Amino acid sequence: MSVLITKILSRRLLKYPQNYGIISTISKAHVIFRGLCTSESGVNLSIYENQETRVSPLWLRHHCQCQNCVHPSTHQRVLIPGDLRNSSTVKSVTLDKKSVEENIKIVWNDDHVSTYKIKWLQDNIGDNYAGLNGSENNNVDSTTDISEVSVNFDDFLNNNNRGLQKFMGHIQKFGFALIVDAPPDTVSTKKAIERIAQPQVTMFGGLYEFQSDLKHADTAYTSDYVHLHTDCTYFTEPNGLQVFHCLEHIGEGGINSVADGFKIAQEFSREYPDQYEILKSIPVPWHYIDPGKYSFYNVAPILQHNPYTDKLQCLRYNPHDMAPLNTIPLVNVSEFYESIINFSDKLEKKAVWFKLHPGMILFTDNWRVLHGRSEFTGSRKMCGSYITRSDWLSKFKVMFGNVQDGSNACTYLNGTLTSYCKHNFSK
Ligand SMILES: C[N+](C)(C)CCCC[C@H](N)C(=O)O
Ligand SMILES: O=C(O)CCC(=O)C(=O)O
């Protein structure tokens, strides 16, 4: 294999000598290139059983984990990319199978020594990027029993972290989770929120209370029906988690709705692939206007894909907060409306309804799950907060190390989400 590389490259070497340093061959038939590397060059490392992986010497040198290259206290890089020019030619590569953790040792041209744990290389080489997208087989739908999406308040706060882990596993797997049996007050709500992260401060405040008093120019501060939506569509980055706790309701209605936007978008893409592409590509303007106080405005598609994985990453949709649609080319207006009308109908049909009683604190992943509420009568006092996506994902990674493990923290039970809600939450 390495001999073949040498033959191919020697022909290229004659043609493009300026691209290559001196080719040096070392033990175990690994072909190494001095100087700056091109795409054809690399170090062939035995990272996986019975196969070799060609890795860029620049990447390897840049990822030296020694205490001179990574600050021992802050874990930040000491090396800057420009430093790689003088230390990225391999002098020797040795595989140490005897140490507790198998590792590969590389000595560089400046005699710097780098040691890489095989497991670390396996976890970090290549496009392992998966991000947190609530993978397709982990969706809330009618087969999920909502009782399994709940964690008791005391368990949630318990420092053994088991309740918190289970809770965050629910959020990663289903897009939302409930804390039950919480004292129906703002102090307890604040404790629960701060178990994950500090409340995100916005024009509504940090830990906010709201009721039908039009304290802000928004239907959330009325007793009107609020259709399924995600919050903060008008911010550059929508809030990450949405937290609601109904402290008291003396009256009728005020039933909450949730819908798993990722599950619905997945079905929509199968039923209307062309219309899915429209909602993925057409930029939509969103706004929040409180005359004389606030005028937030942002333009972004309803279905925002992760640019690296091309998976749906953020569903941004609030039918109440769409600004004048002056961002759609005239030729696309009719197909846009056909798409958004179908999407809106699908969302509304998929809503799952339940009553948030005092003591139940709902957390939703606002990049994935939509929420709403029916109109109500009487006095209904709510409190809650936003948490940024960066903050809650950070907590998640601390709890699980790797976001993908989160789904193991909870069970996926048959049952009927809708019927459970009807019989258990809508009383
Ligand atoms: C009451 N609370 C602060 C939770 C939200 C207010 C909603 C604001 C806006 N309609 C949006 O959806 O972002
Ligand atoms: O009043 C509620 O239960 C929810 C209101 C709402 O949707 C919001 O504040 O974003």
Looking at the fold, whether 219 and 300 belong to one and the same domain comes out as yes
* Closest residue to atom 5 of ligand 2, CA basis: 220
Looking at the fold, whether 110 and 17 belong to one and the same domain comes out as yes
Domain tally for the chain?
2
Residues spanned by the domain of 216 = 134-425
Does residue 129 form part of some domain? no
Can you give the pLDDT at residue 401?
Answer: 57
Whose structure tokens read 């949630």?
Answer: 156
Does residue 321 form part of some domain? yes
C-beta 220 within 6 A of ligand 1: yes
The closest alpha carbon to 118, from 33, 27, 49, 25, belongs to 49
CATH number of the CATH domain containing 196: 3.60.130.10
Taking the centre of ligand 1 as the mean of its atom positions, its distance from the CA of residue 233, in whole angstroms, is 10
In a mutational test of the pocket of ligand 1, which residue from 226, 231, 234, 366 has the highest number of ligand atoms less than 8 Å from its CB?
Answer: 231
For residue range 159-187, list pLDDT tens digits in order: 999 999 999 888 888 899 999 999 999 99
Looking at the fold, whether 271 and 408 belong to one and the same domain comes out as yes
* Closest residue to atom 12 of ligand 1, CA basis: 231
User: Which atom of ligand 1 is nearest the CA belonging to 234?
Assistant: 13
3-state helix, strand, coil in the chain (%, to 5): 35, 30, 40
Q: Are 276 and 261 in contact (CB under 8 A)?
A: no
| DSSP label at residue 16 | -
Taking the centre of ligand 2 as the mean of its atom positions, its distance from the CA of residue 118, in whole angstroms, is 49
For residue range 359-402, list pLDDT tens digits in order: 999 999 999 999 999 999 999 999 999 999 999 999 988 877 54
- Residue 142: phi, psi to the nearest 5? -70, -5
C-beta 83 within 6 A of ligand 1: no
Looking at the fold, whether 291 and 142 belong to one and the same domain comes out as yes
Spell out the residues 6+ positions from residue 268 whose beta carbon is closer than 8 angstroms to its own. Answer: 275, 276, 342, 343, 346
Looking at the fold, whether 160 and 29 belong to one and the same domain comes out as no
In a mutational test of the pocket of ligand 2, which residue from 371, 375, 385, 426 has the highest number of ligand atoms less than 8 Å from its CB?
Answer: 371
Looking at the fold, whether 238 and 188 belong to one and the same domain comes out as yes
- Residue 283: phi, psi to the nearest 5? -75, 130
Provide mean pLDDT across the span 404-410. 31
Taking the centre of ligand 2 as the mean of its atom positions, its distance from the CA of residue 70, in whole angstroms, is 46
Looking at the fold, whether 149 and 232 belong to one and the same domain comes out as yes
The ipTM, to two decimals, is 0.99
User: Which atom of ligand 2 is nearest the CA belonging to 380?
Assistant: 1
Query: b vs e for 142-164, b when ≥16 Cβ sit within 10 Å of the residue's Cβ?
Result: eebbbebbbbebebbbeeeeebb
Taking the centre of ligand 2 as the mean of its atom positions, its distance from the CA of residue 372, in whole angstroms, is 6
Domain's final residue, options 78, 94, 124: 124
Looking at the fold, whether 51 and 178 belong to one and the same domain comes out as no
Does residue 11 form part of some domain? yes
Alpha helices in 175-258 (DSSP H): 186-196
Domain's final residue, options 124, 153, 181: 124
pLDDT greater at residue 4 or residue 308: 308
C-beta 232 within 6 A of ligand 1: yes
Residue 155 to residues 11, 64, 177, Cα–Cα distance (Å): 67, 41, 14
Residue 394 to residues 51, 157, 170, 196, Cα–Cα distance (Å): 34, 18, 16, 9
Looking at the fold, whether 143 and 24 belong to one and the same domain comes out as no
Domain's final residue, options 124, 142, 159: 124
Looking at the fold, whether 161 and 188 belong to one and the same domain comes out as yes
**What percent of the chain shows pLDDT beyond 90?**
58
Looking at the fold, whether 145 and 287 belong to one and the same domain comes out as yes
Provide mean pLDDT across the span 317-341. 93
Residues 50, 266: Cα–Cα separation, whole Å: 38
CATH number of the CATH domain containing 86: 3.30.2020.30
C-beta 354 within 6 A of ligand 1: no
C-beta 372 within 6 A of ligand 2: yes
Taking the centre of ligand 1 as the mean of its atom positions, its distance from the CA of residue 99, in whole angstroms, is 56
Ligand with the closest atom to the CA of 221? 1
Ligand with the closest atom to the CA of 239? 1
In a mutational test of the pocket of ligand 2, which residue from 248, 373, 375, 426 has the highest number of ligand atoms less than 8 Å from its CB?
Answer: 373
* Closest residue to atom 9 of ligand 2, CA basis: 220
Name the 3-class secondary structure at 94.
Answer: strand
Ligand with the closest atom to the CA of 288? 1
Residues 108, 112: Cα–Cα separation, whole Å: 5
**Residue 13: band (very low, low, confident or very high) from pLDDT cuts 50, 70, 90:** very low
Beta bridge partners of 23: 33
Ligand with the closest atom to the CA of 230? 1
For residue range 71-125, list pLDDT tens digits in order: 888 888 888 888 888 888 999 999 887 877 889 999 999 999 999 999 888 888 8
Does residue 392 form part of some domain? yes
Beta bridge partners of 114: 106
With both helix axes pointing from N to C terminus, report the angle between 389-400 and 186-196 in degrees, rounded to the nearest 10.
70
Looking at the fold, whether 178 and 80 belong to one and the same domain comes out as no
C-beta 382 within 6 A of ligand 2: yes
